[in-house]
Amino acid sequence: MTLAAATNENLANLSNTLIYSAMAVYTLAFFAYITEWIFGSRSKIGRTAAALTTEAGAKAPAVTVKKAGSTAVLERPKVVVRAATGTRDVPDGPGAHGGDEKGDLYGRIAVSFTVLAFLIELGGVVARAASVERAPWGNMYEFNITFSTVAVGVYLSLLALKKNVRWLGLFLITTVLLDLGIAVTVLYTASDQLVPALHSYWLYIHVSTAILCGAVFYVGAVSTILYLFKDSYENKLATGGTPGQFATSFLERLPASASLDKFSYRVNAAVFPLWTFTIIAGAIWAGDAWGRYWGWDPKETWAFITWVAYACYLHARATAGWKGRKAAYLALVAFGCWLFNYYGVNIFVSGKHSYAGV
């Protein structure tokens, strides 16, 4: 074995070690997020905030104060929320910690573990790239470990921008652990060189944007699912129903449904132009590699179907009659198309993009 080959093998082993180490730290983060939610369920702050919320259309109660021996009646100031115009005036929940000091501490510990695991996983991805002296996107295993790294990076970037998204942490880390578990058990492929068609600078442009789009679409999908649960919860309260204790403890701490709806729309709308560019870049790369820009290969077809689905969602979201739950269902269908394009086409469908390696 040559020195270069031995070095590459050592780097590949280092990459595997770092990925497993990242999974261990992500597991610690998972338990810390769980603990944050548990302590938050014991807090009365979230339930108090919900109790102060008036029914849609009802006038807020007045506040009575004493002034110079007399009594004055003041209107309770309206609570400013991030709800969209025309929706229920429901304040955002306090967050997973529910206002509990210990819960907040465990939430910050969870974020710290997440940052550490992200850095370790990023090191694993870089080591994998160094072991083959190319971008680490030649097969499904490499795509998976890169995708989960980018998804966590998107979450941490939102936190760094002071966005109130820590409620995403538990759901993100759960799916990241599942993603890495599938990667190391089912999709693992030893380091190898690229097939000839992938030897192009377009690999860095096309695949990197596809990974980033998928990570952002994932964040949008999680917030959309939570929106549907929170909207049902708010509807039940508005109609006089009594949600279960678990649903109340969990859902009252999330942002208002209008806030979740707006957040998911904004992230999907922000990344949609980049997904458009991803398809265009792929077409240009196909022209260089195979002599045609579009051939209705299964991967190309489902990439286009995904584009159409998200375009329909964005159009529906901008149409008054399709806002809310109808648009949310379209968003989930669109993300389902992306998932099938990623897993289904790569693993179960043969085509020019069959690089799964499994």
Tokens of 219: 């964040």
**Model confidence at 116: pLDDT above 80:** yes
Residue 246 exposed, middle or buried by CB count within 10 Å (0-12, 13-18, 19+):
exposed
Phi and psi torsions of 62, nearest 5°: -80, 160
Tokens of 150: 């980018």
Tell me the per-residue pLDDT of 288-342, one tens digit each, with 9 for 90 and over: 877 778 778 888 889 999 999 999 999 888 876 677 888 899 999 999 999 998 8
Separation CA 151–CA 155 (nearest Å): 6
**Model confidence at 163: pLDDT above 70:** yes
Higher pLDDT, 227 or 349: 227
- Mean pLDDT across the stretch 182-211? 82
Q: Tell me if 324 sits within 8 A of 310, measured CB to CB.
A: no
Separation CA 161–CA 267 (nearest Å): 14
Tokens of 20: 């497993």
22, 25, 30, 33: CA torsion to nearest 10: -130
**Model confidence at 57: pLDDT above 70:** no
Of the listed ranges 118-132, 159-173, 178-192, 344-358, the least confidently predicted one is 344-358
- Mean pLDDT across the stretch 237-254? 83
Percent of the chain with pLDDT over 90: 45
Tell me the per-residue pLDDT of 257-277, one tens digit each, with 9 for 90 and over: 999 999 999 999 999 999 999
Looking at residue 352, its pLDDT comes to 57
Separation CA 47–CA 250 (nearest Å): 10
Q: Tell me if 98 sits within 8 A of 40, measured CB to CB.
A: yes
Show contacts of 202-207: CB within 8 Å, 24+ apart.
Answer: 202/281, 202/282, 202/284, 202/285, 202/288, 203/134, 203/135, 203/137, 203/285, 204/135, 205/281, 205/285, 206/278, 206/281, 206/282, 206/285, 207/135, 207/137, 207/143
Q: SS3 breakdown of the chain: % helix, strand, coil, rounded to 5?
A: 70, 5, 25
At 244, is the pLDDT very low, low, confident or very high (cuts 50, 70, 90)?
confident
At 72, is the pLDDT very low, low, confident or very high (cuts 50, 70, 90)?
very low
The secondary structure element, H or E, covering residue 67 is strand 62-67
Phi and psi torsions of 73, nearest 5°: -110, 120
**Model confidence at 356: pLDDT above 80:** no
At 76, is the pLDDT very low, low, confident or very high (cuts 50, 70, 90)?
very low
DSSP secondary structure of 223-284: HHHHHHHHHHHHHHHHTT----HHHHHHHTTSPPHHHHHHHHHHHHHHHHHHHHHHHHHHHH
Bridge partners of 73?
64
Separation CA 358–CA 343 (nearest Å): 11
Separation CA 113–CA 26 (nearest Å): 7
Read off the amino acid at residue 169: G
Higher pLDDT, 30 or 207: 30
Q: Does the CA dihedral 110-245-49-89 come out positive or negative?
A: positive
Q: Tell me if 268 sits within 8 A of 315, measured CB to CB.
A: no
**Model confidence at 82: pLDDT above 70:** no
Phi and psi torsions of 64, nearest 5°: -100, 130
**Model confidence at 237: pLDDT above 90:** no
**Model confidence at 77: pLDDT above 50:** no
- Mean pLDDT across the stretch 176-205? 83
Looking at residue 351, its pLDDT comes to 57
CB atoms within 10 A of CB 161: 8
Tell me the per-residue pLDDT of 85-98, one tens digit each, with 9 for 90 and over: 445 667 788 888 88
Give me the chain's average pLDDT, please.
82
